[in-house]
Structure 1
Amino acid sequence: MSVSPQLAQLATWMAGHFNNLHQAIAEPVWFANIHVYQCPLPWSVFQGIGFYVEQLYDIYPDQPYRQRVIHLFETPDGIRIQNYALGSPEAYKCAGRDLGKLASLAAAELELLPGCAVQVEWTGSCYRGRSVPGKGCIVERKGRTTYLYSEFEIGADYFHSLDQGRDPETDQVVWGSLSGPFRFVKKQDFSCYLPRWS
């Protein structure tokens, strides 16, 4: 297995447990205290780099509100991250605190989410990602059709993330943060669980 230096660095920085407690304390009206777990998957899942991603509120530690799988790979335009849904999310619930649950995860359990990809670029000091153009990542929420717009910035010890559901016609924000990105700090490093590559 072979991985470029930039892809290896991005994966290393992404692997971990992140939390925004400092932001939630400073701006409690706008930001809840959230934990994000980005857990490396076995190489065999994608024959490449993948993560199980789980997000949960601090007050509900056993009730993740988002579970997904992502695949990191290189294209002629740079690094891309593709999102997948889990066929049986309950089987991997709280795997962020029990990484052994992920040992049996297989590609056959995943459903590709069309249009839900993020293009990543290296800025010279950090990585920045943004939803690919096209408004193709459709999310139905509370009876409304929206498209997911995502962007992030990640460094060695931080992860800033913005997810918004927008109206396909007007681009108005229907759900998600109206006060800028969530600013997470890495609390635990999971890079030791990444597959070894040459």
Structure 2
Amino acid sequence: MRLSAPLLLLLALAPCVHGEEATERLASWMSGNYSSASQSRELHNYFNLNLHIVPIWPERRDGPWLYTEHASVKRPERPFRQRVLRLQPAPTGVLLHLYELPDPRRFAGAWRVKIPLNGLTPSDLLPRPGCNLLLTYDGQTQGYSGRTDAGSCANRMYGASYAQTDLEIYADRIIRWTKGYDDQGRQLWGAALGGYRFEKGRY
């Protein structure tokens, strides 16, 4: 569902909140369908990608929990990244816990169904504690942002040693910049000019 401009403005101008209220607001902001199409037209080195984020397990009281799926517009049926996120209050913001699925291909397209990840429970997931982020609110930008610690999120893709992610979340967009580094801190993969800009409701 695409939010109206007045509603997005009201959400963006909402004051800083804390605790469970902050996690609920952040989950509401994140939930939706996104596209990087406009950025891919501006910068030819950036792919046209879709991002889908949907709430899961609403009955649980240790969340909110979210399912996320990234895919190229050319291969929407073959997502290249599927994750489960858990939002938890923290003294200075919201802690985002990252989990992998035990059999990702089985759940490709789960954002479309009425009950996503039906049959799974948190105990089935594979936690990635070194890849968690602390998201803090900035009153000037009207958004949340955070970064994983250097060297903490192990990643062996394309010969890397670890990955580092910068994440910005606003009422109408998400900016995600993930880069892979070797043991010497040299970047091996990832966007060079900044994060992918996913615009909400553009799918």
Q: Note if 1:128 corresponds to 2:142.
A: no
How far, CA to CA, are the matches of 1:159 and 1:63 in structure 2?
Answer: 21
Deviation at 1:70, TM superposition (A): 1.1
Q: Deviations over 1:15-37 (max 9, x none)?
A: 11110111111212x10000011
Alignment-mate amino acid for residue 69 of structure 2: E
In structure 1, the partner of 2:50 is 35
Question: Paired residues, what number?
Answer: 183
Q: Deviations over 1:85-115 (max 9, x none)?
A: 1112122111123343423321122011131
Q: Deviations over 1:110-150 (max 9, x none)?
A: 0111311111000011111211x2511111113x2321111
Give unpaired runs (5+ residues) of structure 1.
Answer: 190-198
RMSD: 1.9
| Secondary structure of 1:5's aligned partner | helix
Q: Is the 8 A contact 2:22 2:89 kept in 1?
A: no
In structure 2, the partner of 1:21 is 37
Q: Is the 8 A contact 2:56 2:116 kept in 1?
A: no
In structure 2, the partner of 1:61 is 76
How far, CA to CA, are the matches of 2:78 and 2:54 in structure 1?
Answer: 17
**Bigger mean CA offset, 62-71 vs 96-105:** 96-105
Task: Name the TM-score, length of structure 1 as normaliser.
Answer: 0.85
Going from structure 1 to structure 2, the CA distance change for 1:93 and 1:184 (only over 3 Å counts) comes to same
Q: Is the 8 A contact 2:180 2:189 kept in 1?
A: yes
Relative CO higher for 1 or 2, CA cutoff 8 Å, sep ≥ 6?
1
| Secondary structure of 1:115's aligned partner | helix
**Bigger mean CA offset, 113-122 vs 39-48:** 39-48
Going from structure 1 to structure 2, the CA distance change for 1:188 and 1:105 (only over 3 Å counts) comes to farther
How far, CA to CA, are the matches of 1:48 and 1:114 in structure 2?
Answer: 16
Q: Is the 8 A contact 1:54 1:64 kept in 2?
A: yes
Q: Which structure shows the bigger proportion of residues in strand conformation?
A: 1
Alignment-mate amino acid for residue 16 of structure 1: G
Task: Name the TM-score, length of structure 2 as normaliser.
Answer: 0.83
Structure 1 ranges of 4+ moved more than 6 A: none
Q: Deviations over 1:130-184 (max 9, x none)?
A: 11x2511111113x23211111212111111111111232x22111111111111
How far, CA to CA, are the matches of 2:117 and 2:87 in structure 1?
Answer: 17
Counterparts in 2 of 1:76-115, with a 5 A limit? 76-115=91-130
Q: Is the 8 A contact 2:62 2:88 kept in 1?
A: no
Alignment-mate amino acid for residue 114 of structure 1: P
